[in-house]
Amino acid sequence: MAAPIEQLWFLWDPFVLYVILVLLAPDIFYLVSWLIAPRRPSRVKKTAFESGQAPIRSALGSFPVEYFPYVIIYVAYAVIAILIFVSLVAVAEAGVTPSLLLLLTLATIASFYASSQLKEIVGRRG
Amino acid sequence: MIEQLAQSIVSAPEPIRTLLSWIFSEAFIKAAIFPGALFSTILGMFAVWYERKLLARVMLRVGPMHVGKVSGILQLIADAVKFLAKEPITPSSAIRPLFWVMPSAALLLSLLLFAFLPFGAGWIIYPSEIGLLLFFAVIAVSPIPILLAAYASGSKYPFIGLTRMALQLFGYEIPLFLALAGVVLMAGSFNLQEIVEAQARAPFVLPQFIGFVVFFTAALAETERVPFDIPTAEGEIVFGWQTEYSGAHFVVFQLAMYEKTLALCVLGSLLYLGGWHGPPLPFVPETISAPFWVVVKSLIVFTLMVLIRGAYPRLSIDRVLDIGWRYLIPLALLNLLITGAIVYFLGTLG
């Protein structure tokens, strides 16, 4: 054998070995497909699918997205969510304190109030 | 013991002996067989068959029954062969390298989730003090291959699916975060094994029922299961972001979505249903009964998902956003408050 198995450290680490196997898994599908699938390309097959019609214009243009404000809200919210999750590391060590309970109470009341006030989803139609 | 058996084959020549000791080593068994590649793939295929069969029963049909001796158990293999025998078509408008690589990337990220999930006291590929955080890091990254695949298709239906999926995932990632925060608060640890050990007396679903409901709903939305399947709604936008994928690429993408669903089912069973704590099985050692209970509980969560798929219609995008932002986030915070109060006044329930 050219390379004895003992010297290849990555074969003895479960995680690294698993990642290697997972990287190989889709290639088995592609190999089998390459062996047994037909290859008869044609112009019509290669057009983008638009219910059988000829494509009208490029899909990579700009077009209106409804409810776009939520994406902006998410950008602000995601940071807070990560902050909560990371600060849990400290909470896990120090335990729950009264001030933390107070903070959670305020956050809960505020979120219930906000959701009761925002009856209409902010969209383009509204 | 198995390793000794492998060592005792003294008569074998040196390379074969090394190979045997590698095959029977902890690394190979964990990575390749259980809970690694072979197990997760077979679980994924079983889940597809199980879903088709159970969904058929819900709709008073029989489901697959012709391929294989017992109730069409080999239907999935037949389906896989059918898909692999189809021509994989790349549209001329696609960005080719991205279009080809993204199914593999999605499958990689979905299967990577299984590396952080313990199936018993020692049954974990990557034991870590912050296992839940790592799981969550991968879950948070996992939509990116899908978004890139939709973008790389260069077609309109995938693009519509992309915007819908982005909006849906933005709405449900935060409730998922907050629901898991309750579990961490109660267990006092990010280590999934310690979280399960903390449920020795009572599973977390009892004190945190609201949290479980939020987690379950958010998991449905994260994996685009039926009430939340507008990004791939086949009736209206012809399978959304997957429209341009065919043949082997499509199979890999479908497998990736099922593996992600199952990983979240396993996580739900570990976090809320008590993981491997269950009545002891007669004549079965702990090392085997623990994974058994985890798999059974995960399949219970999966059954719930399938029953919901059978019972509920697809939600429109405004309802999806409404549920995510206006109901789940306040409920998740309420759950966090209740959990905090329980921990403060009663101490951890472990």
Mutate to test the interface with A, among B107, B155, B195 (most CBs of A within 10 A): B155
* Residue in A23, A39, A112 nearest the CB of B330: A112
Q: What is the pLDDT of residue B265?
A: 92
Token pair in block for residue B196: 């399960």
Quick check: is A53 in a domain?
no
Residues of B in contact with A112 (CB under 8 A): 330, 334
Residue of A nearest to B235 (CA): A51
Token pair in block for residue B2: 């198995």
CB contact under 8 A, B185 and A92: yes
- pLDDT interval class at B350 (50, 70, 90): very low
Higher pLDDT, B136 or A8: B136
- pLDDT interval class at B2 (50, 70, 90): low
For tokens 């298709």, the residue is B153
CB contact under 8 A, B251 and A29: yes
Rounded mean pLDDT, A37-57: 79
Residue A50 to chain B, least CA–CA distance (Å): 7
Quick check: is A92 in a domain?
yes
For the beta carbon of residue B330, count every other beta carbon within 10 angstroms: 23
Domain borders along chain B are 89-346
Quick check: is A85 in a domain?
yes
Token pair in block for residue B30: 């964990």
Higher pLDDT, B214 or A1: B214
Q: Taking the CA atoms of chain A, what radius of gyration do you get in angstroms? A: 27
Quick check: is A17 in a domain?
yes
pLDDT at B186 over 90: no
Q: Domain span at residue A76?
A: 69-117
CB contact under 8 A, B330 and A38: no
Higher pLDDT, A97 or B297: B297
pLDDT tens profile B96-136: 888 888 999 999 999 888 888 888 887 888 888 888 888 88
* Residue in B15, B173, B248 nearest the CB of A33: B248
A99-107's contacts with Cβ under 8 Å and 24+ in sequence apart are A100/B340, A101/B337, A101/B340, A101/B341, A101/B344, A104/B333, A104/B336, A104/B337, A104/B340, A105/B337, A107/B333, A107/B337
CB contact under 8 A, B340 and A45: no
- pLDDT interval class at B213 (50, 70, 90): very high
* Residue in B15, B136, B188 nearest the CB of A1: B15
Token pair in block for residue B166: 């982005």
Burial of B304 (0-12, 13-18, 19+ CB in 10 A): middle
In chain A, the number of structural domains is 2
CB contact under 8 A, B85 and A37: yes
